[in-house]
Every structure is written in structure tokens, then in C-alpha cells.
Amino acid sequence: MPDRPLDGVRVLDLTNVLAGPYCTYHLMLLGAEVIKVEMPGRGDLARRLGPDPELNRARMGASFLAQNAGKKSVELDLKDDGDRAAFEELVTHADVLVENYRAGVLARIGYPWERLSLLNPALIACAISGFGQTGPMSQAPAYDQIIQGLSGMMSVTGTPETAPLRVGFPVADTVGGLSAALAITAALAGRQRDGRGRFLDVSMLEASLSAMGWAVSNYLVSGIEPQPMGDQNATAAPSGTFDTADGPLNIAANRQEQYETLCRLVDRADLITDPRFADRETRKQHRAELNEQLNDALRRRSALEWERRLSAAGVPAARILTVAQAVAVDQVAGRGFVTEMGNLKVTGSGVLFDGEPLTPSAPPPVLGEHNAELPALLERWRGASHGVR
């Protein structure tokens, strides 16, 4: 894709592990030039994280490879006078700076927002942290699991017998990164209008609470606390996971017409007129009895057969896949979501621009891969105006 929305935008990436790198990865996919500033000899901690010990030893761990393609890596020690001078010149000509240190760390090494803003009044600086830069918990350490627990997310994950459970991937980190990327693109758009830089303070805890949607808003409106319901949907029935001849199947017959179509397709039209299941509210009240009746009927066919029959009739239904099966689905492949770069496969953003997927421009960099290019890079940045002004 020759023309991307953030072409010409220059990003300094001071982030580690997941929330910050995930944010800047999406900025890169959108066209930004991302310079990853890493500690000499050490780099991003994610370089040493992943299931392959050999990659970890080479500082190219799978956790790093997953969200750092297309970026450039330069090693700068922000406690070294010479490196600080180079860093400050980069700041002067950058459009965006992203960091996910614990709150206040960047300020303590000499770069509070006030100084960054003096170096570059048009700079958009984004700080991602567990709890935000202010408040009584701002200095507390936080990883994804800590945020999952504090947000209430774990309390509604699982069944009444198994909750609280951690969601099976670092969702709080991911949501924090996406929230930051959204805020940055909004700030860039605002800067086109008024030329102002911004300081963006992203709290993973608050972003996670926001992303929980109805689980939080229903409580705030009704005062009723959500409860763990396993694979069932609290707002509708039948909506959840059901049995088939060869494995589980998700069905979300949330609308009345979908429910009636489901009943007819499983040869149980009598369930439509059964007073226990006549409408949404009575179905929710008699969820267990309804699920038992439907499971008996669904066990006559395979999950794939039901998926095809129900989907064709407008009833949302699909098998439950493993990660390996999910990334191999024809729908995913057909939209170019996974990019192959030699032996490496990386994911995209899930968004097509003018029908084209957003793909990385280069493989993930080795630590300090672009050190020798730094003088030329600085010269080029000096001669360019701010990307979207």
C-alpha cells in the first residue's frame, strides 16, 4: 500500500513488552515511521520472552517479533550525555513519543512533559501505565494479570464454580495499547487544526473498565453486579455454547426471529410456543431447561453441519476453534491478515484500507540494527516538517 494515513508521521518508541509496542505497531501499520529507542545491550524485555529459548537468547523472542515488525531499532542510554543529545534532537523533530514506564520514570531521568514540550511544542507525548500518571495507585507496579483482577474482569470470567479466572491472553495490555493508538491518532488530527502538541495519559485499568462495556455500564445503571456465567450470554437466551455430535458450537439466537428459526431447523418448533420460552425474558428465566432441550436436538449433527445450516438461515453460529485452526480459516487468509516475512508470520490490524490490508514494511529489527543510520536519519528528520501539520 503506497499511501497510508500516517505516512510522514515520525514516532519515537520508548516502550517495552506489550501495551506500548502494540500501540506503536499499529501506528507503523498505518504508515508512521517508528524508531524504537532501546537500552544498549539489553533492549526491550520482550526480546527475551517467548516459547523458543534459542530465539530468546538471540534477543528476538516471539513476544518481541509479534509486535515490532516494520520498526527501526537504535540503542541510546538516556543517562549518557552524548546519547541524551541525540535523543533530544530526535524529540525536537518527532511527531509522537510513546512510553510505558511506571508513572514518573521519564520525568525522573530528566524528561518531564514540560521539558519535552519545550523541546518540541508540537510533540504528542503518550504515557501508558497501569493506573495513569496521577492518583493514589500511580506508583504501583502493574502487569496485565494485575489489571485483569483489579478491573473486575476476572470476577466475571468462568463459571460460578471456577471464577475468578484470567482471560487467556493479555487483554488489558492489548486494550491499553489500542486506546493509546486511538488517542494518538485523534491528537494528530487535532494538531492539524490548531498546531498544538498534547500529553496523553493512558490508564490500562480505566481502558479495561471501558472495554468491559455492558458488564460495567449495566452495574452503573442498575446497581446489579454481573456474575460469571461461563459460556452463556447474560442478555439473551439461547446464547452460548451448545453440544453437537462431535464438539461444542456457539449459537447466539438473540433476536426472536433467530430463536424461532433455530427451533424449526432443529425440528423443535414446539419450543416456540412453550410458555417458558415464549420471549426473551422468559427464556432467560428458564435458560437451563431450554439449553437442555436444544442440546438434545443439536447432538444429531456435527458442529460444522450446524454451523453451515444455521448461518445460512441467519442464525449466528460457529464452531469453537483452537488458535491454530483460527489463523488457518479461509476467511482470515482471504483478507491478508497474516503476513509472511521469510520464516516469520505476523498479524495485521484487521482493517482494510481501500480494500488492501495493512502489512509491515520490514521484519522486526535486531537490537541496534539502525545505529549506524542514526546520523542520516536525524538529517532527514531535520529537513522534514511535522507529519500531519
DSSP string for 266-327:
TT-THHHH-GGGSSHHHHHHTHHHHHHHHHHHHTTS-HHHHHHHHHHTT--EEE---HHHHH
Please give the Cα distance from 124 to 94 (Å, whole number).
9
Strands 356-357 and 352-353: antiparallel
Contacts of residue 355, defined as CB under 8 A and 6 or more positions apart, other chains included, come to: none
Q: Is the backbone of residue 202 left (phi > 0), alpha (psi -120 to 50) or beta? A: beta
The active-site residue, picked from 95, 144, 173, 201, is: 173
Count of C-beta atoms within a 10 Å radius of residue 116 = 22
Bond before 164 cis per omega within 30 degrees: yes
Residue closest to 233 by CA, chosen among 257, 208, 259, 209: 259
Identify the DSSP state of 135.
Answer: S
Grid coordinates belonging to 290: 431450554
Q: 149, exposed or middle or buried, with CB in 10 Å at 0-12, 13-18, 19+?
A: middle
User: Is 173 one of the catalytic residues?
Assistant: yes
HSE-CB for 278 with a 13 A CA cutoff:
4
Crossing angle, helix 171-194 and helix 204-211, to 10 degrees? Answer: 100
Closest-CA residue to 31 (of 359, 373, 385, 370):
359
* Residues in Cβ contact with 175 at an 8 Å cutoff, skipping those fewer than 6 apart: 204, 207, 208, 210, 211
Active site residues: 173
